[in-house]
Structure formats: C-alpha cells, structure tokens
Amino acid sequence: MVLPIVAYGSPILKKEAEEIDENYEGLDQLIADMFETMYEASGVGLAAPQVDRSIRLFIVDASPFAEVEEGEEPDPMAKGLENFKKVFINPIIEDESGEEWAFAEGCLSIPKIREEVMRKPNIKITYYDAAWNFYEEEYEGYAARIIQHEYDHIEGILFTDHLSPLKRRILKKKLTNISKGEVDAPYRMKFPNLQKKR
Ligand code: NI
C-alpha cells in the first residue's frame, strides 16, 4: 500500500526516532509499504518518520544511480550502488571520515527543492536488516550520502538544517508553503498546516 509522505513542518520530522525490536508489530508490511511508497515517488531513500512512524528504520534503493551509459566513464562516486537496495533497522553511524564534499540533495518531504549539502564521503555503520541479521559495513560516495541523509531523518534532522542561515532565509517562504500544502508534488502527501480552500 502506498502511504502518504509527511511534509516539511510536521513535528515528527524534527523528533529523534525510537529503536525497535523483533516484536514490532507489522514490520514486514511496513517495510513493503515503504518500498512501494518510495518507488511511487521516484525516491532513492525513505525513512520511517516520513510515513509517520517515529522509529529507527529507513530503506534505500539507489540501483538506478549505478547505470552507466554506453561510452561513458563510470562515476567513481557511484561505487557499490549496483545492488544498493537495503533495509536499515536501528542503525548507528559509528564513524564519518574524509574531506567534506558538496552534493545537491532533495527530500520527498520537501518537494521541488534541491540544495547543496556538505558531508564527509566515508562512513562506517552498524545496523540490522529485515531478517534481524547484524551488519557492520563501510560506504562511500553516493551510497554514504544517501545513508547520511536518511540517518538524519531518524535523528530528527532535515537537509535544510545543514544550510547556511542565509540560504534558509531565502527558502523560508517556499518551505512555509510546503507545510501548508501549497506545492505540486507528484505523490500523495500529508501536510501539517493544510489551509482549507475557500
Ligand atoms: Ni529526506
């Protein structure tokens, strides 16, 4: 089932999410619904708070990023994306390293806005998958970037929180409009400050 995506301005997006355990009810269905929702919205990552669940869970599928056009050099930042479809439960980013790099990020909760965010290129993360197997892995480039963005969601952080005060001021009106539902997103959303049409 496709779930509505919670829009910018919703308190749940600013909240630190809770860990879950194996008894969390309906987890398999929730994960299936999250993948359906993410694909429907053409996203590469989706965190549980974005579908109104304040739990430490996010999913990614960035395999489209791995495609190399004929005659084109493979993008070194796209390393490891071929099978980058994963479920992260109770993840902990243990370490981030390397020199910060800029990448224009977007977010399904903040439609039609993309801004450059600086992040470190290498991460070490521990997490459980949907079958509760435990992993300790390292990621780099776009894979690390997507994980860092989704991980922020379960910490109550949005990519706009990483922008300069000036950039944020410039975006303020657009962000307010998004929270009121005054944005044309090509997928179903839930707006915190929806204004009744007169
Ligand atoms: Ni996001």
Residue-wise DSSP of 131-147: T--EEEEEEEHHHHHHH
Cα-to-centroid distance, 47 and ligand 1 (Å) = 7
Cα-to-centroid distance, 109 and ligand 1 (Å) = 6
pLDDT band at 197 (very low <50, low <70, confident <90, very high): low
We find that the CATH architecture of domain 5-195 is Alpha-Beta Complex (3.90)
Identify the active-site residue in 138, 150, 155, 182: 150
Cα-to-centroid distance, 99 and ligand 1 (Å) = 23
**Whole-model pTM?**
0.94
The per-residue pLDDT for range 186-196, each reduced to its tens digit, is 999 999 998 76
Is 150 in the active site? yes
47 close to 108: Cβ distance less than 8 angstroms:
no
The per-residue pLDDT for range 24-61, each reduced to its tens digit, is 999 999 999 999 999 999 999 999 999 999 999 999 99
Cα-to-centroid distance, 43 and ligand 1 (Å) = 9
Four-residue CA torsion sign, 9, 26, 45, 121:
positive
